[in-house]
Structure 1
Amino acid sequence: MELQQQHHILPLVALLIATFFFVGAPSLAQDATPSLHPVVLVPGNTCGQLDARLTDEYEPPTPACGIPKQGRGWFRLWENFTALQEDPSLLPCYADQLRLVYDPVAGDYRNLPGVKTRVVAFGTTRSFRFDDPARKNVCMEGLVDALEGVGYVEGANLFGAPYDFRYAPAAAGLSSEVFSDFSSSLKLLVERASERNGNKPVILVTHSMGGLFTMVFLDRSPLAWRRRYVKHLVMLCLGVGGSPLNMWPLAFDTLSPPSLPGTVLTYGNRSFASMFSLLPSPKVYGDTPLVITGAKNYSADNMVEYLAAVGLSEEQVALYRTRALPLTLNLRAPLVPMTSINGIGVPTIDRLVFLDGNFTAKPELVNGDGDGQINLQTVLALERLVGGDPDQPYFKSILIPNTTHKGMISDELALKRVVSEILGAN
């Protein structure tokens, strides 16, 4: 089935990396296919690797979490599969150091006091490659290899824009310093990539939550800049309107047995700015029951009540209502040529049933259609939003049967279709 419709420190670090990176670009460009437009990849959630440094201000949950690292410079905070294999006792340390706190005075999220972080290898795709075998097919590594197979060259016309996935864009007028820094760095990267490739505009290729970040980035960029520097947006595995699946991790804050990915997606997420980013939108789901209990049903319309019921604090619920919800309700077409590619035909959570009201228990799952994470309903909402905007210059929606969320960037047939669309955008 295929549907088509036409119509803190990050800026300085990114600048230094980009400067180093582009100095050697001419020699790399000799090996790249000159007719290709440069591509910038924006990965999905948890695909940006993070380094950390601890200062004396950090108060560790146990002495072992702070003393070995304090004063020893930067170390890999996320992801560190090899380190945890060697010493599993580090798990609570890394989990603690990944947490964010909300600063009501600044009106923004921050790292824990004494924890400094930076995104690894901004400007390149190197951080998309993980040493954890379980994550090999999650973070665009297969797409990088496929693009290199058709003439793209890392550092010449192929670039990466990882981000700190713990943070998120906020509603207009509210502070989101880390996202603002990412936007500035991405803008500079796009401009440099264009300049190094004969001033050709850039093709942005996103996966999952990277698509949300990129849509907000484009919406907040001047239209003249978009028309000059963005050739096409190819967005993989994202609709508009979130997913009921994302309500589940918020219902519990422990996993057994614990793991670092599980910690990030549960315990960690309760402190992350991004934990609300892909919750179901009232514009898409309305009053449709998404979480069902014996006493009460919860929908996107009464999400505030659900968040309170699963134990989020009044401050956290208020942050959803003031920072995340307005952004969700006001997503707009990117106003650049756009192709959306999504998987369908895979059971995807539509509803969670906790009949006894125990949110810490595993719910009964009621499935609908989608890619296993993104519901078809939100993809159709994207088609209405983007395809229905008279100012959107071009829009094409492709649905690939029996393709999962991670399969879109790892399965051979799906990769061939994605690469074909990128080449077509050229």
Structure 2
Amino acid sequence: MELLPQRLSPLVVLLLATPLFVGAPSLADDATSSLHPVVLVPGNTCAQLDARLTDEYEPPTPGCGMPKQGRGWFRLWDNFTALQEDPALLPCHADQLRLVYDPVAGDYRNMPGVKTRVVSFGSTRSFRFDDPARKNVCMEGLVDALEGVGYREGANLFGAPYDFRHAPAAPGMASKVFSDFSSSFKLLVERASERSGNKPVILVTHSMGGLFTMVFLDRTHLAWRRRFVKHLVMLCLGAGGSPLNMWPLAFNAASPPSSLPGTVLTYGNRSFASMFSLLPSPKVYGDAPLVITGAKNYSASNMAEYLAAVGLSEEQVALYRTRALPVTLDIRAPLVPMTSINGVGVPTIDKLVFWDGNFSAKPQLVNGDGDGQINLQTVLALESLIRAHPDQGYFKSILIPNTTHKGMISDEFALKRVVSEILEQIKPPHDTGTLIN
């Protein structure tokens, strides 16, 4: 169905059609010879990190440091198999993943004596896991789907994993890890283009990878974007964060969860620079109550009060105000052709209720619409933001019913829709609109 011109289209256009790609393999066959290179940028926690311990490291217990100090690199994250074999390693890995803020350097760094590196930057290999339970968590399903239509690792398919503990900082503030990622990402895009006959690149992001990419694009020269970026396909991200991300910060640090993923997303998350990156934006949520207690309500507008109430230090609250919030408030249209694809129709947290003010207890949840993590409200805010920019050009928003945040990169129908949009970019641009499939 042809999209309506933007000036005539309603907010939502209902598209009644059979699933794409069903009975139509010729689309992939025709596209293979003219594929544009694709660089995938995964979501939060979807990088693998190696670590190396030096003599400077002071472990929380002797068993955490002595076996590995001075013995080279080991897998710090995703080392689920090792943790299953020896649960006693949980506090060790949690400690070694923590970040500290260096006020002299004005930046975050690892714990003293812990060196880290991202595994397999430039490749999609780090999106794959030996554990079958992890197969659909990151972008492995999307890699398989792209390879099914002619993409090949290292030839025209690449990956840009990043250290998810760090995040972009406000302009003028130090963020060495994000700056290093941006430099490597820029070079990767240029080399991907060169390997594909100088074709511009299609960037495909999921979740927090979209935030990293939006900030990266905003901080590159427009001429570079127009030369090297053919299209941005952003999955599962709006423009205003999510109340869901207020929940992990409420956990009592004295009682961390009993698994490494739980620890990273709760107790460990308090030390990460990225812990503030997807908190609700005052521009989107305003004064609407997001956390409700018997004594006081907290909104995006008084987020600093909430962070103090759940036990974050004055320094951490100040870092939210000065480093993260300005980035949240300054998300801009990428000024490259863009398609935003999000799931809807899934209960998604809108409000957290702690009646007795005990933030360590499990809250009552008030749900709205979204993909289970990203609220529809923030998706619509992204649409408004991008459509309002006079220089944005092509933009399309697609809403896929009953599709979860993880399902966008694992469910068969959603994957077909995403791959179809990627292949669509070999054709001339057309009118914009908003679709529900």
| Shift in alpha-carbon separation, 1:3–1:243, aligned structure 2, 3 A | farther
Secondary structure in 2 aligned to 1:372?
coil
| Shift in alpha-carbon separation, 1:5–1:211, aligned structure 2, 3 A | farther
| Matched residue type, 2:371 | D
Residue 193 of structure 2: aligned partner = 194
CA RMSD of aligned residues (A): 1.5
Contact 1:6 1:396 in 2 (8 A): no
Partners of 2:131 and 2:385 lie apart in 1 by 37
Partners of 2:103 and 2:285 lie apart in 1 by 31
TM-score (norm 2): 0.90
- The residue correspondences of 1:341-420 to structure 2 (distance < 5 A) are 341-420=341-420
Task: Return the offset for 1:134.
Answer: 3.2
| Shift in alpha-carbon separation, 1:327–1:6, aligned structure 2, 3 A | farther
Secondary structure in 2 aligned to 1:408?
helix
Task: Return the offset for 1:132.
Answer: 3.5
**CA displacement 1:250-293 (0-9 Å, x = unmatched):** 00045675100001001110000000000000000000000000
Partners of 2:418 and 2:408 lie apart in 1 by 8
- The residue correspondences of 1:68-79 to structure 2 (distance < 5 A) are 68-79=67-78
Secondary structure in 2 aligned to 1:232?
strand
How many residues are aligned here? 401
Residue 11 of structure 1: aligned partner = none
Contact 1:5 1:397 in 2 (8 A): no
Secondary structure in 2 aligned to 1:340?
strand
Residue 305 of structure 2: aligned partner = 305
Secondary structure in 1 aligned to 2:173?
coil
Task: Return the offset for 1:388.
Answer: 1.4
Task: Return the offset for 1:130.
Answer: 2.1
Residue 15 of structure 1: aligned partner = none
Q: Does 1:96 align with 2:117?
A: no
Residue 179 of structure 2: aligned partner = 180
Contact 2:348 2:370 in 1 (8 A): yes
Secondary structure in 1 aligned to 2:372?
coil
Contact 2:256 2:263 in 1 (8 A): no
| Matched residue type, 1:204 | L
**CA displacement 1:92-119 (0-9 Å, x = unmatched):** 1000000000000000000001000000
| Matched residue type, 1:210 | G
| Matched residue type, 1:356 | D
**CA displacement 1:123-142 (0-9 Å, x = unmatched):** 00000012333322111000
| Matched residue type, 2:201 | V
TM-score (norm 1): 0.92
| Matched residue type, 2:147 | E
**CA displacement 1:163-182 (0-9 Å, x = unmatched):** 00000000011000000000
- The residue correspondences of 1:164-243 to structure 2 (distance < 5 A) are 164-243=163-242
Partners of 1:193 and 1:346 lie apart in 2 by 36
| Shift in alpha-carbon separation, 1:308–1:389, aligned structure 2, 3 A | same
Secondary structure in 2 aligned to 1:70?
coil
Partners of 1:114 and 1:374 lie apart in 2 by 37
Task: Return the offset for 1:387.
Answer: 1.4
Percent identity at matched positions?
87
| Matched residue type, 1:359 | F
Partners of 1:71 and 1:422 lie apart in 2 by 45
Partners of 1:253 and 1:127 lie apart in 2 by 32
Partners of 2:86 and 2:78 lie apart in 1 by 14
Task: Return the offset for 1:311.
Answer: 0.3
Contact 1:286 1:301 in 2 (8 A): yes
Contact 1:4 1:398 in 2 (8 A): no
Residue 130 of structure 1: aligned partner = 129
Task: Return the offset for 1:6.
Answer: 6.8
Secondary structure in 2 aligned to 1:206?
strand
Partners of 1:392 and 1:6 lie apart in 2 by 15
| Matched residue type, 2:405 | H
Contact 1:244 1:349 in 2 (8 A): yes
Contact 1:242 1:278 in 2 (8 A): yes
Partners of 2:401 and 2:2 lie apart in 1 by 11
| Matched residue type, 1:36 | L
Give the gaps of 5 or more residues in structure 2.
7-30, 427-437
Contact 2:256 2:267 in 1 (8 A): no
Task: Return the offset for 1:230.
Answer: 0.1
Q: Does 1:67 align with 2:72?
A: no
Task: Return the offset for 1:87.
Answer: 1.1
Contact 1:6 1:395 in 2 (8 A): no
Contact 1:163 1:182 in 2 (8 A): yes
| Matched residue type, 1:167 | H
Partners of 2:256 and 2:172 lie apart in 1 by 40
- The residue correspondences of 1:137-152 to structure 2 (distance < 5 A) are 137-152=136-151
Residue 15 of structure 2: aligned partner = none
Contact 1:168 1:213 in 2 (8 A): yes
Residue 18 of structure 1: aligned partner = none
Secondary structure in 1 aligned to 2:356?
coil
Contact 1:42 1:205 in 2 (8 A): yes
